[in-house]
């Protein structure tokens, strides 16, 4: 118990100085390691992700705990295995996204390089076919079907494109044909893809063998990280409840100072409402103060119904268990708890109709079990002992049980309304009676515990407070008789007198403490004033002379600094004016040179020639010139641009020497040659489209992204009703070219976008 409490204290101090340990995102490794062992070390990158994450967390926690100053956290660090070799191998194999890196091995680098080059060749071949037979194709895009690159051919023009048919569109108007020109290149791609799969399997199997060779260390690391997570949870509980670590009572005494049960403490309201469905927000409960000396092995709590007796019982037991688990207690300074070998309870109604167990019979079964386990170091918590039966018989059973239990060396806290049990506790030197406070003026309990008193049940007051009619209460008083009323009045007056005496003692103690503080404050003030007066008399003249000399020195220093600053500012101002003028001249010269260069380039462009508009970054054909303006045809549309913004376009491959024949790319055609987008993210927007249109657009973009070697494709579909998003994700979740898909992160559009990560 002491070790756990000290460890919690070390963790609290560590968090204050260095923050929390990097434990977020971990999961239990045992199922993953068991599955990997069953597969003989063969696993996918997804299976290795939690293992690598746990190894990284182990390494990070080891580094973090290097700053730990206490022995317990240092011992925790020593039990965390070093997994640097495993992490080094993982860093070679896996990227930040958890997928296998291109450079995981020289063989994989070479294979993927050949794959990219071969895909580029196939793409260029198919684009040439598209350009030469455009009227035979439904869409000017390259598609992937059955892992083969194909072209979408109109069903009516099927005979004009010889090749192998792999699929047809849903409408039947388009068939996907693998042209004869790319059959062999596609075969080469299939062979390269098979080589890539074999190399990936080899690398993953090798890493899986390494993981299995460190299996025991990984399991130990997972266990230690879980222990550290539980330790931080203890610290978090203490912070939430503004708790403190209790003292351990060596002699068995018990002291609770301002103890707050977590289910009644306002500080735990947020987590209580989240965890317990029946929890309700409410006001703070009255804190509990309890003092039980070591020689008092029995505490009997009595008092009115709904006065807080059971809360006293539960708070004492719960705090004992929290302390023994090393958890800070929501209580005040000076709280001390003993250590128990066992804690047994009989609280609440345990009747069971189907097994013929009444409330009383169930209580007797539990008491028999508690008595059989009675021994030194045991604690029994019994609510309403001897209740739920005839009061005389219940009292006899309760007294006999307590006698037998205490003789075995155990300690007990019991609540009761039975006078015989109160008398039994009052007559024993090793027992203590305590009563719950009751406010006579309001007729309601105050939920404070007073040791040394035997409380009354206040049944009539509680019944009246709960709404029982006055005529019923009057009849109950008449049945109880005058003797009961006289005894009730005498007990009430005695309690009031005792409370007045205690209040007077508290007031006197408060006044004495205030008087002592005031006397100490006055004495301290008198000594301070005398010392100040002596110092002023001794140092007054010297201080005045020093102050005058210092003032003169500072005035002269500020005058000198002001003169120097004025000269420096004048010099700096002139330098800045000169520098600004030189910069303006240089900028004007550069602008003139750029303007002259643009005009020279524009003069080289002739009508009918291809040209490029620098400001727009597009190319087209020059139709005519009109002064400083040029009429151009760009993608089938006529635009009027400034002549100075034109420059000769580079002739496309195969079109050199043919001015005026530049093709205007039709809608959907990729006009620029395919480029290697490996590691980049392609993008397609389908906001406002119908689901069928959007799916077809995404398929086209997906094919283009694969051809270009992109690592992923971002589909921007917006939020809307969610139908477009759900339809797209359902369509492409199992697509053979898609490794996995996910919602965009905060920088990618959130749930209004879907990222397809490509194989």
DSSP state letters, 153-222: EEGGGGGGS-EEEEEE-TTSSEEEEEEGGGHHHHHHHHHHHHHHHHHHHHHHHHHHHHHHHTHHHHHHHH
Domain ranges across the chain: 2-83+214-240, 106-208, 247-468, 681-758
Among 468, 389, 382, CA closest to 425: 382
CA distance 125 to 138: 18
CA distance 712 to 619: 28
Plot region of 40 (φ>0 → left; ψ -120 to 50 → alpha; else → beta): left
- Locus of tokens 């007796």: 309
pLDDT at position 238, please? 92
Mean pLDDT of the chain: 80
Contact (CB, 8 A) for 76 and 227: yes
CA angle 606, 611, 615 (to 5 degrees): 125
pLDDT at position 661, please? 40
Half-sphere exposure of 758 (CA within 13 A, CB side): 26
Q: Which residue has the higher pLDDT, 266 or 654?
A: 266
Is a pLDDT exceeding 60 seen at residue 594? no
H/E run at residue 449: strand 444-451
pLDDT at position 653, please? 42
Contact (CB, 8 A) for 14 and 66: no
Is a pLDDT exceeding 90 seen at residue 648? no
Cα 426 → chain centroid: 54
Q: List 619's β-bridge partners, or say none.
A: 612
Radius of gyration of the chain, Cα coordinates, nearest whole angstrom: 44
Is the pTM of the predicted complex or chain greater than 0.95? no
Among 96, 70, 83, CA closest to 17: 70
pLDDT at position 592, please? 60
pLDDT at position 655, please? 43
Q: Which residues contact 395 (CB under 8 A, 6 or more apart)?
A: 386, 418, 419, 420, 421
pLDDT at position 472, please? 65
pLDDT in tens, 37-48: 888 888 888 889
* Class of residue 513 by CB neighbours under 10 A (exposed 0-12, middle 13-18, buried 19+): exposed
Is a pLDDT exceeding 80 seen at residue 350? no
Is a pLDDT exceeding 60 seen at residue 737? yes
Mean pLDDT of the region 227-245: 92
Is a pLDDT exceeding 50 seen at residue 668? no
CATH class, range 106-208 = mainly alpha
CA distance 686 to 489: 86
- Least confident segment among 347-356, 403-412, 526-535, 698-707: 347-356
Q: Tell me the two tokens of residue 37.
A: 């062992």
pLDDT in tens, 249-272: 988 899 999 999 988 888 888 888
CA distance 663 to 650: 13
CATH class, range 247-468 = alpha beta
- Least confident segment among 82-96, 229-243, 429-443, 598-612: 598-612
Contact (CB, 8 A) for 288 and 307: no
Q: What is the DSSP letter of 643?
A: G
CB atoms within 10 A of CB 81: 18
- Least confident segment among 18-22, 232-236, 339-343, 351-355: 351-355
Q: Determine what percent of the chain is predicted with pLDDT higher than 90.
A: 23
Mean pLDDT of the region 54-71: 91
pLDDT band, residue 277 (cuts 50/70/90): low
Q: Which residue has the higher pLDDT, 320 or 423?
A: 320
pLDDT at position 588, please? 60
Is a pLDDT exceeding 50 seen at residue 114? yes
Cα separation values, 655 from 111, 177, 675, Å: 33, 27, 20
Is a pLDDT exceeding 90 seen at residue 125? no
Is a pLDDT exceeding 50 seen at residue 184? yes
Is a pLDDT exceeding 50 seen at residue 672? no
pLDDT at position 497, please? 66
- Locus of tokens 């339809």: 727
Contact (CB, 8 A) for 237 and 243: yes
Q: Tell me the two tokens of residue 180.
A: 């004869």
* 358: phi then psi, degrees, rounded to nearest 5: -85, 175
Q: Determine what percent of the chain is predicted with pLDDT higher than 70.
A: 80
CA distance 209 to 41: 5
Is a pLDDT exceeding 50 seen at residue 609? yes
Q: Tell me the two tokens of residue 701.
A: 């973009």
Contact (CB, 8 A) for 306 and 317: no
CATH 3.40.190.10 describes domain 681-758: no
- Least confident segment among 204-208, 284-288, 467-471: 467-471
H helix runs in 354-457, sequence order: 359-372, 391-407, 419-427
Is a pLDDT exceeding 90 seen at residue 449? no
3-state SS class at 745: coil
Is a pLDDT exceeding 80 seen at residue 191? yes
pLDDT band, residue 677 (cuts 50/70/90): very low
CA distance 519 to 102: 81
Contact (CB, 8 A) for 587 and 579: no
Q: Tell me the two tokens of residue 408.
A: 């075995």
Contact (CB, 8 A) for 653 and 667: no
Q: Which residue has the higher pLDDT, 204 or 748?
A: 204
Q: Tell me the two tokens of residue 407.
A: 């003789």
pLDDT at position 40, please? 85
Is a pLDDT exceeding 70 seen at residue 498? no
pLDDT band, residue 681 (cuts 50/70/90): low
pLDDT at position 314, please? 92
Mean pLDDT of the region 639-648: 76
CA distance 169 to 175: 6
CA angle 656, 660, 663 (to 5 degrees): 80
- Least confident segment among 410-424, 470-484, 515-529: 470-484
CA distance 177 to 111: 27
Contact (CB, 8 A) for 151 and 176: yes
Among 255, 359, 265, 350, CA closest to 299: 255
* 660: phi then psi, degrees, rounded to nearest 5: 85, -5
CA distance 450 to 289: 9
Q: Tell me the two tokens of residue 442.
A: 């309001």
Q: What is the DSSP letter of 341?
A: S
Q: Which residue has the higher pLDDT, 487 or 556?
A: 556
- Locus of tokens 């037991």: 317
């Amino acid at each position: 118990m002491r070790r756990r409490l000290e460890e919690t204290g070390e963790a609290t101090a560590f968090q204050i100085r260095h923050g929390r340990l990097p434990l977020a995102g971990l999961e239990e490794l045992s199922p993953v390691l068991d599955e990997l062992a069953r597969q003989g070390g063969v696993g996918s990158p997804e299976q290795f992700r939690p293992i690598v994450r746990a190894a990284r967390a182990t390494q990070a926690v080891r580094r973090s705990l290097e700053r730990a100053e206490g022995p317990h956290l240092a011992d925790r660090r020593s039990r965390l295995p070093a997994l640097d070799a495993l992490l080094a191998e993982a860093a070679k194999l896996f990227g930040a996204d958890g997928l296998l890196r291109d450079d995981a091995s020289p063989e994989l680098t070479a294979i993927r390089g050949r794959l990219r080059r071969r895909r580029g060749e196939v793409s260029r071949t198919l684009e040439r076919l598209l350009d030469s037979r455009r009227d035979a194709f439904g869409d000017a895009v390259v598609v992937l079907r059955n892992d083969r690159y194909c072209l979408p051919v109109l069903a009516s023009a099927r005979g004009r494109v010889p090749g192998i048919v792999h699929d047809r569109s849903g409408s039947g108007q388009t068939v996907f044909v693998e042209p004869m020109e790319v059959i062999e290149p596609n075969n080469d791609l299939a062979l390269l893809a098979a080589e890539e799969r074999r190399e990936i399997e080899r690398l993953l199997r090798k890493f899986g063998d390494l993981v299995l060779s460190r299996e025991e260390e990984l399991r130990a690391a997972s266990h230690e990280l879980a222990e550290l997570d539980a330790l931080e949870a203890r610290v978090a509980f203490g912070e939430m409840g503004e708790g403190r670590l209790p003292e351990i009572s060596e002699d068995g005494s018990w002291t609770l100072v301002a103890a707050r049960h977590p289910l009644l403490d306002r500080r735990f309201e947020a987590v209580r409402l989240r965890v317990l469905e029946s929890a309700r927000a409410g006001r703070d409960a009255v804190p509990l103060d309890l003092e039980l000396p070591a020689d008092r092995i029995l505490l009997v709590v009595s008092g009115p119904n709904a006065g807080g007796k059971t809360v006293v019982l539960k708070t004492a037991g719960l705090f004992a268990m929290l302390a023994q688990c090393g958890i800070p207690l929501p209580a005040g300074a000076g709280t001390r708890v003993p250590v128990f070998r066992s804690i047994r309870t009989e609280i609440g109604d345990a009747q069971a109709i189907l097994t013929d167990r009444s409330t009383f019979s169930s209580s007797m079964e539990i008491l028999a079990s508690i008595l059989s386990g009675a021994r030194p170091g045991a604690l029994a918590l019994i609510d309403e002992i001897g209740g739920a039966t005839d009061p005389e018989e219940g009292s006899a059973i309760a007294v006999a049980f307590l006698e037998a239990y205490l003789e075995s060396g155990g300690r007990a806290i019991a609540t009761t309304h039975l006078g015989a049990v109160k008398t039994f506790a009052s007559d024993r030197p090793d027992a203590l009676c305590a009563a719950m406070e009751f406010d006579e003026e309001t007729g309601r309990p105050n939920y404070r515990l007073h040791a040394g008193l035997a409380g009354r049940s206040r049944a009539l007051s509680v019944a009246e407070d709960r709404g029982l009619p006055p005529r019923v209460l009057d009849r109950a008083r008449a049945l109880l008789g005058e003797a009961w009323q006289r005894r009730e009045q005498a007990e009430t007056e005695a309690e009031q007198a005792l409370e007045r005496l205690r209040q007077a003692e508290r007031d006197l103690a408060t006044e004495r403490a205030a008087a002592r503080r005031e006397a100490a404050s006055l004495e301290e003030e008198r000594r301070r004033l005398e010392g100040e007066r002596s110092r002023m008399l001794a140092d007054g003249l010297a201080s005045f002379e020093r102050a005058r000399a210092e003032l003169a020195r500072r005035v002269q220093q500020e005058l000198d600094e002001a003169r120097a600053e004025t000269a420096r500012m004048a010099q700096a101002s002139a330098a800045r004016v000169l520098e600004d003028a030189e910069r303006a001249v240089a900028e004007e010269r550069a602008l003139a040179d750029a303007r002259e260069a643009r005009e020279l380039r524009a003069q080289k462009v002739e009508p009918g020639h291809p040209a490029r508009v620098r400001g727009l970054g597009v190319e087209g054909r020059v139709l005519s010139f009109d002064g400083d303006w040029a009429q151009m045809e760009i993608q089938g549309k006529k635009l009027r641009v400034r002549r100075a913004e034109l420059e000769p376009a580079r002739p496309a491959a195969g079109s050199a020497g043919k001015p005026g024949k530049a093709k205007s790319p039709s809608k959907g055609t990729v006009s620029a040659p395919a480029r290697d987008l490996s590691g980049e993210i392609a993008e397609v927007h389908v906001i406002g489209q119908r689901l069928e249109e959007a799916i077809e657009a995404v398929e086209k973009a997906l094919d283009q992204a694969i051809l270009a070697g992109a690592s992923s494709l971002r589909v921007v579909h917006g939020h809307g009703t969610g139908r477009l998003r759900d339809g797209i994700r359902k369509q492409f979740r199992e697509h053979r070219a898609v490794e996995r898909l996910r919602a965009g992160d905060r920088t990618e559009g959130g749930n209004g976008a879907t990222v397809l990560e490509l194989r």
